[in-house]
Structure 1
């Protein structure tokens, strides 16, 4: 008889072996101890039959920034099933168990990197961040004149405070960014071969950084974060100074970036790719923290969530408070599913677009009230798990 339970510490090797098989990589013996130590941070649920692990799911306890407030987030990772146990509903049962666990711990949202977007949409997740990828030849690089700041190189073992300070500035600019703890910076950001170039203004204040790797004549820029235009130019000059080393440049930047317009030859290879997905785990506390409607005129939301039944029903928001009802009048208020609510409130899609394409239905008066409660801030996500 199959049953679901948490993996014990001595069973972490089972999770690692399944990951190696499912994701087709191999951890060397010298790296295995460190990898198992990292897994101790994960809450891992498995479905077993006669104590044989059939499938598993990892939950990482993290936080993300939405409207400059931090929300406890359950990061879903490492979802895998041995081939002989696939297509039997195991992952569905594990996802359900993981959502219940997140709800009990007060994790209001959940993020994941999908192998298949449509698959996870069935369980209430929706795209919450897309990124832009640029590939262009180094001959497109150029130098801005009269930039008086300086750039200093920072490595994994250096003092990372300047980089952290700059990154946290982006909480004002984007929704959905991960709050990075110290261990995350060293384990997940400054990975093998990557370093940072930090731009300091004339007063020696850190104002921007690029996270990059230079290898095989490719300058690979994974993050470019800046606090003002001078910092952007200073970082661009730093990138351009690699023109004798690099034949090509690759850059990963947020969805609203306009860098190609500034190039000498803007006709470059550009790709917009859906990157991460998110879902609201528990609508009631999420809406209370979000403060969607601070007025005394109630805003009524009818939410459909076919996978997390506690979110199914009507939520009346007024003066920052939320009341839940299972059997409210559907003729009043707005109707949408849990995926649409997430896309709108995190800023991945505009409320206008979602209303026009009928992902949101209801009166224009109610919609206007809903729309006015959403700050204009796009969504982004640089990290991976």
Structure 2
């Protein structure tokens, strides 16, 4: 008999055994103990046949910034099934259960890092986040015009308030960046060997930081966050100070970053890689928290969601407010995937209309784009 239930600490070893098999890694006893101690910080749901764990799904209770607003988000991770139980619908049942659980908890959004994008599109998630990765040769480490200010190396253990303040101010320029607490900083962001270099302007105010490591002639920058052009130039010049130590620099940045345009040789290697997917879990709950641009006209959205029937709604957006509307009225028809991409600004309504992925008149599609604040989608974290 099948049963979906929350995995308890007593069943931790069963869950970890499945993870190690499915994702092909092996942990030391010290690492296992560390995971055991943090097991209570998120939920792990499993499908069982009798006492046998057949599949599992981890659900992290997180929050993300949508601009300056904080929104509850359920982070889906660690989805795994033993090979002998695959293709039996077990994961689909777990995802269905997870959607209902997230709605009950007020987690109106959900993010995940997919092993297969098309697979999760079947369940209503859509690709909304990509990374831009720069690979810069030593010869292109040329200084920008100097800026007054200093660089100090700080510690996440001792100086978290300073680092987190910069992070949050930067994150609020985007849709999707995680709200980080101390546990997240220390156990999900910080990695051994990496350090924080913080830029202080001439007034001694911290306005940017790098999270980086130098090893084997490579400067690896995992986070490059700044609050203005001055701090961006200051951090870049600090990178250039490593020209006698490294052969290459690799930098991960949000997809809309234009650092290369500022370089003396903009023709550096740039890779854009699909990263995370997103899904609106509760369309009414989310849109009522969302801040639309106010326009003079009203717009009706007919939302379709074949995995979460509570999202099958006709909704009116008027004067920045969202209310239930008339299903017979003319409007824009779209699935929860397209709506998620548009609202997070991963894609414009105009693009999806031209791709024949949403239905409506050109005027109404343009109106929807006018209602959405122009703020790029980005997430840097991993779970």
Answer yes or no: same fold by TM over 0.5.
yes
Q: What's 2:361 paired with?
A: 363
Larger mean Cα displacement after TM superposition, 64-73 or 297-306: 297-306
Larger mean Cα displacement after TM superposition, 205-214 or 163-172: 163-172
Q: How much does 1:248 deviate?
A: 1.1
Q: What's 2:204 paired with?
A: 204
Gaps of 5+ in 2: none
Q: How much does 1:145 deviate?
A: 4.2
Say whether the 8 Å CA contact 1:207–1:227 is kept in structure 2: yes
Q: What's 2:352 paired with?
A: 354
Q: How much does 1:263 deviate?
A: 2.9
Larger mean Cα displacement after TM superposition, 53-62 or 160-169: 160-169
Q: What's 1:9 paired with?
A: 9
Q: What's 1:328 paired with?
A: 327
Q: What's 1:114 paired with?
A: 114
**Residues of 1 paired with 2:260 and 2:194: CA distance?**
24
Gaps of 5+ in 1: none
Per-residue CA distance 1:231-274 (angstroms, 9 max, x = gap): 01110111111111111111111111122233343333211011
**Residues of 1 paired with 2:298 and 2:197: CA distance?**
49
Change (3 A) 1:14 1:207: same
Larger mean Cα displacement after TM superposition, 272-281 or 160-169: 160-169
Change (3 A) 1:266 1:296: closer
Q: How much does 1:343 deviate?
A: 0.4
Larger mean Cα displacement after TM superposition, 20-29 or 104-113: 20-29
**Residues of 2 paired with 1:290 and 1:140: CA distance?**
42
Q: What's 1:268 paired with?
A: 268
The correspondence of residues 295-306 of structure 1 with structure 2, limited to 5 A, is 298-306=298-306
**Residues of 1 paired with 2:245 and 2:382: CA distance?**
28
**Residues of 1 paired with 2:306 and 2:368: CA distance?**
23
Per-residue CA distance 1:88-111 (angstroms, 9 max, x = gap): 111111000000000000110000
Change (3 A) 1:296 1:253: closer
Give the secondary-structure state (helix, strand or coil) at the position aligned to 1:76.
strand
Give the secondary-structure state (helix, strand or coil) at the position aligned to 1:180.
coil
Aligned residues: 383
**Residues of 2 paired with 1:39 and 1:214: CA distance?**
32
**Residues of 2 paired with 1:161 and 1:374: CA distance?**
32
Say whether the 8 Å CA contact 1:292–1:370 is kept in structure 2: no
Larger mean Cα displacement after TM superposition, 287-296 or 99-108: 287-296
**Residues of 2 paired with 1:282 and 1:60: CA distance?**
17
Larger mean Cα displacement after TM superposition, 222-231 or 315-324: 315-324
Q: What's 2:235 paired with?
A: 235
Change (3 A) 1:293 1:220: closer
Q: How much does 1:296 deviate?
A: 8.0
**Residues of 1 paired with 2:113 and 2:261: CA distance?**
30
Q: Does 1:315 align with 2:309?
A: no
Give the secondary-structure state (helix, strand or coil) at the position aligned to 1:290.
coil
**Residues of 1 paired with 2:374 and 2:322: CA distance?**
22
Larger mean Cα displacement after TM superposition, 292-301 or 179-188: 292-301
Q: What's 1:75 paired with?
A: 75
**Residues of 2 paired with 1:146 and 1:268: CA distance?**
22
**Residues of 2 paired with 1:134 and 1:202: CA distance?**
29
Q: What's 1:164 paired with?
A: 164
Say whether the 8 Å CA contact 1:125–1:339 is kept in structure 2: yes
Cα root mean square deviation, aligned: 1.7
Say whether the 8 Å CA contact 1:293–1:318 is kept in structure 2: no
Q: How much does 1:68 deviate?
A: 1.7
Say whether the 8 Å CA contact 2:129–2:277 is kept in structure 1: yes
